């Protein structure tokens, strides 16, 4: 399975005025796992274009400005039992470019009941809490993201 490629994707750490981070709970997960907005890149998109599109698709708002982009691409591997299920078994995990963004709207601008909703609830959390609330296979990735963007708070 490790011969499989990574899926190209992006992720967004959305910070509010109090430097708390937007996280949401996936509709398709039974666990108490929360995540930041993220998704795959469409053909022909730059990472920045993908991140802005994903933010709008997953939070219902584009009211944000980019503060910082991750220096490199960050990866995570899916657990072996999920590889055949997620993305049709074509990928071993994701290679992502991450963006820290400042939310410029009001909480009422966020609407996770989008055209294709992925989340059932959302909240703001302290940045340092992120690795503890994500699915275990993404903890190392989230620790890297926190380390890279901790200068912003």
pLDDT at 2: 58
- Supply the range of the domain harboring residue 40: 6-152
DSSP helix/strand/coil, 45: coil
Q: 58 is written with which tokens?
A: 């997953």
Q: How far apart are CA 13 and CA 31, in angstroms?
A: 21
pLDDT at 23: 98
* Beta-strand relationship, 20-26 and 34-35: antiparallel
pLDDT at 4: 96
Q: Are 118 and 26 in contact (CB under 8 A)?
A: yes
Q: Is the torsion defined by CA of 152, 56, 104, 121 positive or negative?
A: negative
pLDDT at 114: 86
pTM: 0.95
pLDDT tens sequence across 78-106: 999 999 999 999 999 999 999 999 999 99
pLDDT at 22: 98
pLDDT tens sequence across 19-67: 999 999 988 877 778 999 999 999 999 999 999 999 999 999 999 999 9
Q: 96 is written with which tokens?
A: 């992502």
H helices of the chain, in order, are 47-59, 130-133, 139-149
- pLDDT band of 115, cuts 50, 70, 90: confident
Residue 1 lies in a domain: no
DSSP helix/strand/coil, 91: coil
Q: 102 is written with which tokens?
A: 């400042």
Residue 136 lies in a domain: yes
What percent of the chain is predicted at pLDDT more than 70? 99
Could you tell me the CATH number of the domain that includes residue 116? Answer: 3.90.79.10
Number of domains in the chain: 1
Q: 125 is written with which tokens?
A: 């959390």
């Amino acid at each position: 399975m490790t011969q499989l490629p990574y899926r190209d994707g992006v992720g967004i750490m959305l910070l509010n005025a109090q430097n708390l981070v937007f996280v949401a709970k996936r509709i398709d997960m039974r666990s108490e796992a929360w995540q930041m907005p993220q998704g795959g890149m469409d053909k022909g998109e730059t990472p920045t274009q993908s991140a802005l599109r994903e933010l709008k698709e997953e939070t219902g708002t584009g009211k944000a400005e980019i503060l910082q982009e991750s220096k490199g691409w960050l990866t995570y591997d899916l657990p072996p039992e999920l590889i055949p299920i997620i993305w049709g078994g074509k990928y071993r995990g994701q290679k992502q470019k991450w963006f820290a963004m400042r939310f410029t709207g009001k909480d009422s601008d966020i609407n996770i009941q989008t055209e294709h909703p992925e989340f059932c609830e959302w909240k703001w959390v302290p940045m340092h809490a992120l690795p503890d609330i994500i699915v275990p296979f993404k903890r190392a990735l989230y620790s890297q993201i926190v380390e890279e963007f901790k200068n912003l708070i």
